[in-house]
Amino acid sequence: RYEHVKSTAQYPHGEKDSYRKMCRFQSGYLHRHPLLADLDFYWRIEPDVEYYCDMNYDPFVFMQQNGLKYGWNIAMPEFMATIPTLWNTTMQFVTEHPELLASDSLWPWLLDEHGNYNGCHFWSNFEIVDLSFYRSAAYQTFFDYLDRAGGFFYERWGDAPVHSIAAALFLNASQVHYFDDIGYFHPSVLTCPRDARTKGTCVCDLNKSFVQDGICTIRFLEVKQSIVNPNATKLARLGPVHYTEPIIHSVLPAINTI
């Protein structure tokens, strides 16, 4: 079966054992590596990436002082062909473990206006994480459940949607931070701060940056504001937000969307 999946896959890296193993490792085993044992935070930095802005603060200290658990920089929809059963598997997990959900979670960020899974995920090639999140019983229980389902190999579940769904499930909205002040490039996507020209601390080309206006970024800002600061007088980048692949319907009870 596995060989058939690889030989017929019509998506990037679909034929590769190594890519699947990397995604599974990043999802469930990186934070268990002995080299990270004495660390509280980690910042994932990959080959061939570029950083374009001067930073006048320590992001680890910033996260610690503000009670943040997960920091991201780029968000976009996942290629649905790689995760056809991930959402249904997550729904089964939530049905079995409702006690693990955070009280003020970002769960609505994962849903479109019709309550369908929108595929939004944080690109995990940039993530700054309080490792207590990945080491938590909630996250480990979730990963083990997904691992037993087999989707890392029989499909091509990536660590990015796994991390993102977990953050939306188990963290409060106030614990997830968008590092929109960091100019960053990962082949083939660039994000550049909106005030890069006026502040003069970045060398990225704002004209080539588009993800700030992407549906997943806008949706995140909307949802987080509705939870953390619902009475704000200045709205956060409100839509309209349109999704092109509302494929899987959510059956999660008692979760309100905005």
The per-residue pLDDT for range 166-188, each reduced to its tens digit, is 999 999 999 999 999 999 999 88
Give the pLDDT of residue 247.
32
Nearest-CA neighbor of 119 among 106, 110, 128? 110
Gap between the Cα atoms of 228 and 69, Å rounded: 15
Instruction: Read off the DSSP letter of residue 103.
Output: T
User: ∠202-238-218 over CA atoms, to 5°?
Assistant: 50
Look at 230 and 127; give whichever has higher pLDDT: 127
**pLDDT for 196-245, tens place per residue?**
777 778 998 888 887 777 889 999 999 999 999 888 766 665 444 333 33
- Encoded tokens for 97: 């473990």
Gap between the Cα atoms of 192 and 182, Å rounded: 7
Does residue 26 carry a pLDDT above 50? yes
Instruction: Read off the DSSP letter of residue 239.
Output: -
Does residue 90 carry a pLDDT above 90? yes
Gap between the Cα atoms of 165 and 87, Å rounded: 9
Lowest mean pLDDT among 39-53, 77-91, 102-116, 241-255: 241-255
Gap between the Cα atoms of 55 and 11, Å rounded: 37
- Name residue 130's beta-bridge partners: 41
Highest mean pLDDT among 2-16, 161-175, 195-209, 243-257: 161-175
Choose, from 15, 96, 127, 155, the residue flagged as catalytic. Answer: 127
Helices (H) and strands (E) in the chain, counts: 10, 9
**pLDDT for 135-156, tens place per residue?**
999 999 999 999 999 999 999 9
Gap between the Cα atoms of 207 and 113, Å rounded: 30
Gap between the Cα atoms of 41 and 78, Å rounded: 26
CA–CA distances in Å: residue 179 to residues 39, 68, 72, 199: 21, 12, 6, 16
Gap between the Cα atoms of 108 and 201, Å rounded: 34
Gap between the Cα atoms of 17 and 120, Å rounded: 25
Give the pLDDT of residue 45.
96
Nearest-CA neighbor of 128 among 48, 45, 28, 211? 45
Does residue 250 carry a pLDDT above 70? no
Query: Above pLDDT 70, what percent of the chain?
Result: 89
Q: Given the structure tokens 């490039």, which residue do they identify?
A: 185
What value does the mean pLDDT take over residues 23-51?
96
Q: What is the mean pLDDT of the chain?
A: 87
User: Residue 161 carries which side chain, given as an amino acid letter?
Assistant: P
- Encoded tokens for 199: 């502040």
Q: What Rg do the C-alpha atoms of the chain give, in angstroms?
A: 18
Give the pLDDT of residue 212.
74
Identify whether 15 is a catalytic site residue: no
The structure's pTM equals 0.88
